[in-house]
Structure 1
Amino acid sequence: MAVSILKVSQLNRYVRSQLESDRRLSELYVAGEIGSMTVNQRSGHLYFTLKDSDASVRAVMFASRSEHLRFLPKPGLAVVARGAATLYERDGAFQMTVSELMLDGAGALGLAFEQLKEKLAAQGLFSEDRKRPIPQNPRTIGIVTSPSGAALHDIVSVAQRRNPSVLLLLAPAAVQGREASASVAAAIRLLNQDGRSEVILVGRGGGSAEDLWAFNEEETVRAVASSGIPVISAVGHETDVSLCDYAADLRAATPTAAAELAIPDRTVLLQSLELRSELLRERMNRLLGEKQRKLSSLQQMPALHDPAFFLNKNRQRLDYLIESMYNLSRGEIPRRSEQLGHRAALLESLSPLGILSRGYAIAEREGRPIFSADELSQGEELCLHLHRGTAAVRVERVDLSHGEEKHDL
């Protein structure tokens, strides 16, 4: 009998084909605890071991699958892995290719909730500074929910009761199941693109934690946080709290409560309008009364009843003012004229020109007058200013004696 000798690669390939052809090994659910774990920084693939008290098995979860995990895997977590048994040919290593990883045991959803909440809070998605006020009287309201759910029925009922004139725009979305998160996020983006809505209601009626989980998915929460239109989150009942509630501008306990917060009560609006109208009428009546009283007062003025009397009265006053001005000018002008004459005569007597007209002269040197003989030197030239004209002279002799002695020039 001939012996068939296989290469290592052939052996590994054969074993791998046998494993993958076994239908019982192609769809496995394996419960265990995550042991060692690494993430390939370049590819994003997740490599880990699943173990129990007696054994362990290598596992790999490719990035296309691990990026959809609801929680952050870490060593020590009890999980259930869905996938297929296979062989990594290069190393001949038996491993499990994981397509889905779920937390095992009670509190699994709670752990996933807290992990994502912590992550998004650190990124500022839940900050109160981001919250915007809800419009007081919106004319158009967007709704993101299931078209067949009780939430839509409740919202429509509240709208018909409170204010039928408000326009409701439904962006239908799946609110439960694998595709719900993407569906809700897409509906929110659709209403933002449409642009008519002034506020958006996002939510659904009550259910189990698993039923409401779409509103705890990262894609849904980010869509709520990034909406350019204010969002009211209304998920489940009053005791249900979702991550969308934290990201929304306002949380409502139920879809009905959300509708009551968003839709103004028409009766209250009409009452407010009537009150404002009454206040406006009172103010107008008061203002008209004041103007009427002022008009009546003006109508009693003599000038309106007897214009001639008013004109004659003012003519008399004008005559009085003219007479006063005439009397004032008749006595004041001569007095002022006499004062002016006296001051002119005084100025004339003090004028150098007046002195020169009486036969005197003024001696100057370089434009400066000479006051004393001791300022003169024999032989220097001076300028004499006379009543008519000037003359250039030379000093021949200087006499500093007092009296009426003549100075020869």
Structure 2
Amino acid sequence: MALDTSAQSPAPVRQVVNLIGQYIDRLGAIWVEGQIAQINRRPGIQTVFMTLRDGVADISVPLTCPRTVLDGLATPLVEGASVVVFAKPSYYANRGTLSLQVREIRMVGLGELMARLEQRRQLLAAEGLFAAELKRRLPFLPRRVGLVTAPGSAAERDVLDNARRRWPGVTFEVAAATMQGPRAAAEVMAALSRLDRMAEVDVIVIARGGGAVEDLLPFSDEGLIRAVAAATTPVVSAIGHEQDTPLLDYVADVRASTPTDAAKLVVPDVLDESRRVAQARERLREIISTWWSREQAALDAIRSRPALADPSSQVESRVQEILDLRHRARQCLVHAVDRASDDIGHQRARARALSPLATLQRGYSVTQTAHGDVVTSVQGLPTGTALTIRVADGRIHTTTTDTELLEEGPTDD
């Protein structure tokens, strides 16, 4: 219904917005076809927010979908899937936005196919076939490179030409296989098995050029995925272009964006390696030169020391020290002998001074009885007693004829 408005009597925003909402509310639920561009699951909220994009025009509309509807799908919904939704248009007046309230979702065409592939990917990932710890490193310079591709294909030429351009001595073992159609997966598995049994093959490349999603389905075959996971030789996946991601890319040890990129991954560039060798050799030369210069400087410093520059000077100085020490030792010994001689002389003089013989030489004598007793008193000496008198130079034998006792005995003075 048209509004009767003019510049003098305009309609307020709320009235216009409410009329738009009323008009949209009169629309019933409709089927809408498009492509899922975004899925936003918020924890604790039972509504999933998505964006539905038109397949041709650059137009999109928000979707609000109950979580139960999304979880009830036979295959998980992924971004990029083509779907048909049964939804009721709804207009939010406060924000002035239009959205579709989803009641049912059906995946069609490529969208259904992508959903099935995503479900298969999740199941295989849950088994651990895509685990990062299972990935093997490629050899630096393989003895022989195995190549699984269609005979005479552009992918074969890209891999061979680019690899030989990088490393002219590289050798290939090409195993031909159909790379499209119902027989492709089985033939690729057979070629992979044959190359994996060859001991001289160090790496295997599975290469195919770009194509539609349907053309690349053999490289998402579950049997092929398990065969690659069981292979003992590292496998490089080079299927399609950068945007193509078959399941083979997840299980392979290395993913190459294109066959040309695979050639760069499996063999090194001879020019780059030659340059690295030259740089390493130059660094080694510098290290050795620096080490030699340091050791030579240390040797020169040692040789410049006086002990090595003039060894005889050290000997001469030591000889003089020995002579000085010997002279000092002789002097010390002479002094010690002189002091000892003087001490002996003093001791001898003292001993002589204290000796009874010295007393005898001064005129004294010692009188002894025949039994050797020293006579100190006249008492007890009868007349005729035999005596021996010891003088300085001998003994006198005599007998007493008479004794006389003095009035006063000798004093200490």
TM-score normalised to structure 1 length: 0.50
TM-score normalised to structure 2 length: 0.50
